[in-house]
Each structure stands twice: as structure tokens, then as C-alpha cells.
């Protein structure tokens, strides 16, 4: 059977998690030549409420499109961290926003943390790119997709006027995760 | 040159499939989780000279759909459970007046407003029995983004060929998940158009069975003038209560579908040759089932999957044949409280036990649940 790698982006509605998952999956499927399925679940609210986006990446056909045992988890709220860290695989990786998730979940997984939202706001310049900062970090931590291919996927998704902003967000996220992991 | 590929949602693929099939009219009313179909077509249809109309509600949308289709368009609407309920009166009208059109319904939790963003498979009975009276029913249940694209094309083809409304019903997971899709070239997939009249306007009758069970349909509003009604009708389209005519017409309408099941019923058999346990599943649940079957095989359990692609007409003959060949058990995982379970029990005539896995909590049935059920089979 083919190997599955499962990634979950979780937090609140409005944080751009679904788009982050879509870009990750596009990078894998279109640019990296792997198979990928992206799915999501969210509440009826436009903002707030819980939101999650899942990406399964594999070298073969993907049957079950949802996560079973998560290899890599992003949590942008305390609620998401508490609720989903139990699904993490032993040896998996959890990325959290250090300012939004103050109680670190414990388990047989690696925790990487940095102030993701603040980084977007203060270092990139716009809070709205929090998801792209997080995506850059997840690309670095999962190692499933090359940095170049992921960046291509990001840039293919954003309007012309915001290319530089998103490029910066992606790369800062990527670097910060590597630094935080060390 | 390579084929065009994209990474799309099931709903987006449905819209593109419709365009491939020649859809040039959409009437609808937005509803989660089907809105992306309308979103794509509102942008694409004007580019090809087609028409997109957002109506005041779902019944209005169904009325516009029938009007557009009758006037010669290839027409699509998209909706979800609550909208499907509202459309039912006019779906029946489409059946009796024999108007080809496609209804794309994404299954979310129900009844009523239910769970708008949660997946479900509980509209399958509504696809057949939602509107009252005896009538033909065709319902297709795709399981992937690629298949959603292709089944929407097939839905148009079947509706045109048999001159009847056809439904496509993905569950919310299939409709909203994104996968890679490879677009077929023009001409690669057959596109069928309705039979046009071969007689001059003054001789035309809209239900003229001398041309067979599926009479040619002229475009309403053209030089072919005819009467359309929801009442039982004669060959010229005018109402009748004449017993023999009504009986024959009702039977013919149902026969259009029931007499052509081999052309309409589509399914996939996976590892069934030596299977002792047969999982009968459709939509996203069939993907869990395939995963579970693969797992089971590694553990030495002889499991297989019968994947339903055409839900109506139901693949009764194929399932009965499997039961007669001898299987230890059927398992029906589904995101409802046993709709398929009852149908499988009915058509397999008690020759093997049918075990159900039913889930209506807005969560998908996972492979582990199916594997556990397989292990209950003695």
C-alpha cells in the first residue's frame, strides 16, 4: 500500500486555514507530482467557530480523504490544540502560535512554537497573511514539498498586488519554523 | 500536448462537467454546500452566450429550470436538502411532462435545515420518492472530483436520451474536497442531445409514441406549438382521464428508465471475485470502504467492495447475483440511518445477512469502523 502523510490545519473560522490547506495540496499535487486530497470542516459561521482543513499526501491513490492519524498539526487556537493534538501520531509534529496557545499540549510528539499571528502583523506587516506565515512554517516542518514548489503554489493563488507580501510571509514563516525547531 | 489538469473542488468540477455536456442554462438559489456550482456558472455561462439566473427561491429556480429546458436549453440547477424538498412539486411536473434537466444536489445533514456544513447521504430516498406518484427516477452518486465531472456529463446525457429529470447527488465531502482532475478533450466523452422532431409543426405531437418510448421534443416557443401540463395527458399533450391512456402513459414513463437499467446502472466491483464479505457503499463512504477492504486483505479477511455509482435505478440484479453466488455477509456503511441497508436487504432476498453502519452526526464513517464490522462476521 502507498504511504499516506496527513496534515491538519486547525483554528478558528476567518484565520485562512482552508486556503492554507488548499495551497499545500496544490503544491503537492500540481507542482510536486504527488497525489493529494484536501478537505475541510467548518461551522455555519462566517467568522469564529472552529475550522479545520486537512491534506492527505501520498505517492499512490488516496481512498479515505480525511485524516486518521495526523503526522503534522497546526493549531492556531487553544481549543484546536487541545482537541486535535490527541490525533497526532507518535513522533509527529505540532506547530502552535505561542501567543494564542498558552497551554502547550503534552504527548509523544514534537512541539514547535513561535508567535505566528504577531509575526504576520509586525514583521510581514499584515495580520491577514497569518495563514501564509503558518503555511511556510508547515512546509518547513513537514518536508513533503520543496520550498520552491510551495512558494510557486502560494504565488499562483494570490492577486498580483499582493505577491511580494505573500512571498515575504511564506519565507519568514519557513525560516522561523526552522529556527524554532533548532 | 498534455491534457489540461487542475486541482478542484467537486462542486467546481460539476460546473465544468455541465459546460462540457453543453449546459447553457442555469437557474438556482444559493445554498450551502452547493453554492460553488452557481458561483462558477455565473462567471462561465455568460462567456459562451448561456444564461444564468438566480431566482427568488428554490421552487422558482425549479420552475425556471423546466422552462429553460423545455425551450431547448440544456439546463442545470444545484441545491441541497432543504432546497431539494422545496423543488419536489415541480420535479414531479418535470417527470410527467417529460422535460430533460439535471438537478445537482449536495447531501448535507437533515431533515429540514439540519447541519448545513456537515456531510450526509440521507437524500437518496428523496431522489426517488420525494415527489409523489409513480415516476421514473435516475440518481447518480459520484465518489471523487473526477467522477463528479464525468457523472454530471452522464446525467445530461441520460436526461436528454430518456427525456426526464436526472439527479446527481454527491455528499458534502465529495462536493467540497479538492483533488486533481484531468479534463477530457472535446469529443473524448460522448455528448447526447435530445431527439428533435422529424415531422412538420402541424403534425407534431409532444408525446407521440410512434417514435418509441421516448418521443422527440421540440423547443417550446419555436414554430412547433404544443400544450404542456402536469395532468395526465394524451399524445398531443392535452389532459385526459381516459383509463386506458392514463395507464399506458404512466407505465411508459416509468418504462423509459426501468426498461433500460442496463444502460443506466453503473457500478464498480473491487476485489469481489473471491470476496466473502461484500461492502456496498457509495460516495465518500465508498472511499473509506476501499481503504478498509485493503486493510482487511492484509489481515487475511476476504473482503471486497461493490461501489454504487447509479443509485437509482438501484443495482438490484447485480447484488442479487452476488448473494446467490454465496457471500458470508453484506455490509452497508452510510451516512444515514439505513436507507441503502433496506434496499440491499430487499434485493438480496435474505440469502445473506446485511450488516449496517449508520452515522448521522456529521462525521464521516472511517475505515476503522468498517474493518471492525467485518470482524463481527462469523
Q: Is A40 within 8 Å of B116 when comparing Cβ atoms?
A: no
Residue A71 belongs to domain spanning: 4-181
Task: Residue A94: give its domain's CATH number.
Answer: 3.40.920.10
pLDDT band at A51 (very low <50, low <70, confident <90, very high): confident
Q: Look at residue A179 in the predicted model and tell me its pLDDT.
A: 96
pTM of the model: 0.95
**Average pLDDT over every residue of A119-144:** 97
Q: Is A1 within 8 Å of B294 when comparing Cβ atoms?
A: yes
- Residue-range domains of chain B with CATH: 1-264 (3.40.50.970), 267-376 (3.40.50.920)
**Bridge partners, residue A114, by sequence:** A97
- Nearest CB partner across the interface for B7, out of A29, A44, A66: A29
Report the domain count for chain A. 1
Q: Look at residue A46 in the predicted model and tell me its pLDDT.
A: 64
Q: Look at residue B118 in the predicted model and tell me its pLDDT.
A: 92
**Average pLDDT over every residue of A143-164:** 96
**Average pLDDT over every residue of A122-127:** 96
**Bridge partners, residue A93, by sequence:** A72, A110
For B318-358, write each residue's pLDDT tens digit: 999 999 999 999 999 999 999 999 999 999 999 999 999 99
Separation of alpha carbons B351 and B322, rounded Å = 10
**Average pLDDT over every residue of A152-160:** 95
Q: What are phi and psi of B77, to 5 degrees?
A: -130, 155
Report the DSSP pairing between strands B178-182 and B277-281.
unpaired
Residue A99, min C-alpha distance to chain B (Å): 30
From chain A, the residues in CB contact with B182 under 8 A are: none
| Residue A113 pLDDT exceeds 90 | yes
From chain A, the residues in CB contact with B364 under 8 A are: 66
Q: Look at residue B3 in the predicted model and tell me its pLDDT.
A: 85
CB atoms within 10 A of CB B73: 21
For B226-271, write each residue's pLDDT tens digit: 999 999 999 999 999 999 999 999 999 999 999 999 999 999 999 9
Low pLDDT (below 70) residues in chain B: 1
| Residue A35 pLDDT exceeds 80 | yes
Residue with the larger pLDDT of the pair B21 and A14: B21
Q: Look at residue A1 in the predicted model and tell me its pLDDT.
A: 53
Amino acid at each position: 500500500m502507498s504511504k499516506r502523510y496527513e496534515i491538519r490545519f486547525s483554528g478558528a473560522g476567518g484565520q485562512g486555514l482552508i486556503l492554507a490547506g488548499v495551497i499545500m495540496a496544490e503544491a503537492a499535487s500540481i507542482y510536486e507530482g504527488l497525489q493529494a486530497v484536501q478537505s475541510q470542516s467548518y461551522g455555519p459561521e462566517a467568522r469564529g467557530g472552529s475550522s479545520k482543513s486537512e491534506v492527505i499526501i501520498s505517492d499512490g491513490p488516496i481512498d479515505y480523504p480525511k485524516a486518521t492519524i495526523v503526522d503534522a498539526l497546526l493549531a492556531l487556537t487553544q481549543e484546536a490544540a487541545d482537541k486535535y493534538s490527541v490525533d497526532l501520531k507518535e513522533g509527529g509534529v505540532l506547530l502552535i502560535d505561542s501567543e494564542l496557545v498558552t497551554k502547550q499540549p503534552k504527548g509523544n510528539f514534537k512541539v514547535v512554537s513561535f508567535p505566528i499571528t504577531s509575526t504576520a502583523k509586525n514583521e510581514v506587516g499584515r495580520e491577514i497573511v497569518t495563514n501564509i506565515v503558518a503555511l511556510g512554517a508547515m512546509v518547513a516542518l513537514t518536508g513533503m514539498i520543496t520550498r520552491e514548489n510551495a512558494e510557486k503554489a502560494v504565488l499562483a493563488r494570490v492577486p498580483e498586488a499582493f505577491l511580494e507580501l505573500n512571498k515575504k510571509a511564506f519565507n519568514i514563516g519557513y525560516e522561523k519554523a526552522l529556527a524554532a525547531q533548532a | 500536448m498534455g491534457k489540461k489538469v487542475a486541482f478542484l473542488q467537486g462542486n467546481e468540477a460539476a460546473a465544468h462537467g455541465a459546460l462540457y455536456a453543453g449546459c447553457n442554462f442555469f437557474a438556482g438559489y444559493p445554498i450551502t454546500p452547493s453554492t460553488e456550482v452557481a458561483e462558477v456558472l455565473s462567471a462561465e455561462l455568460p462567456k459562451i452566450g448561456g444564461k444564468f439566473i438566480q431566482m427568488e427561491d428554490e421552487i422558482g429556480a425549479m420552475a425556471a429550470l423546466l422552462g429553460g429546458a423545455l425551450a431547448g436549453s440544456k439546463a442545470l440547477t444545484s441545491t441541497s436538502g432543504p432546497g431539494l424538498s422545496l423543488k419536489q412539486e415541480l420535479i414531479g411536473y418535470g417527470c410527467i411532462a417529460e422535460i430533460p434537466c439535471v438537478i445537482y444536489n449536495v447531501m448535507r445533514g437533515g431533515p429540514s435545515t439540519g447541519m448545513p456544513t456537515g456531510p450526509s447521504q440521507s437524500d437518496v430516498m428523496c431522489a426517488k420518492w420525494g415527489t409523489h406518484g409513480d415516476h421514473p427516477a435516475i440518481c447518480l452518486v459520484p465518489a471523487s472530483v473526477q467522477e463528479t465531472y464525468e457523472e454530471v456529463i452522464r446525467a445530461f446525457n441520460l436526461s436528454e436520451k430518456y427525456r426526464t429529470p436526472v439527479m446527481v447527488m454527491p455528499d458534502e465531502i465529495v462536493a467540497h474536497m479538492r483533488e486533481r482532475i484531468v479534463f477530457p478533450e472535446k469529443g473524448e466523452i460522448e455528448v447526447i442531445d435530445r431527439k428533435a422532431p422529424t415531422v412538420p409543426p402541424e403534425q407534431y405531437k409532444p408525446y407521440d409514441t410512434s417514435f418509441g418510448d421516448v418521443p422527440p421534443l421540440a423547443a417550446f416557443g419555436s414554430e412547433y406549438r404544443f400544450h404542456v401540463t402536469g395532468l395526465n395527458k394524451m399524445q398531443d399533450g392535452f389532459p385526459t382521464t381516459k383509463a386506458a391512456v392514463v395507464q399506458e402513459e404512466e407505465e411508459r414513463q416509468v418504462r423509459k428508465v426501468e426498461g433500460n437499467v442496463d444502460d443506466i446502472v453503473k457500478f464498480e466491483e473491487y476485489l469481489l471475485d473471491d470476496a466473502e464479505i461484500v461492502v456496498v457503499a457509495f460516495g465518500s463512504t465508498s472511499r473509506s470502504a476501499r481503504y478498509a477492504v485493503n486493510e482487511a486483505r492484509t489481515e487475511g479477511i476476504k473482503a471486497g467492495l461493490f461501489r454504487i455509482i447509479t443509485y437509482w435505478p438501484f443495482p438490484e440484479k447485480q447484488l442479487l447475483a452476488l448473494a446467490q453466488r454465496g457471500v458470508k455477509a453484506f455490509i452497508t456503511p452510510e451516512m444515514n440511518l439505513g436507507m441503502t441497508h433496506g434496499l440491499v436487504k430487499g434485493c438480496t432476498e435474505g440469502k445473506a445477512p446485511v450488516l449496517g453502519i449508520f452515522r448521522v452526526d456529521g462525521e464521516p464513517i472511517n475505515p476503522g469502523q468498517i474493518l471492525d464490522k467485518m470482524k463481527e462476521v462469523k
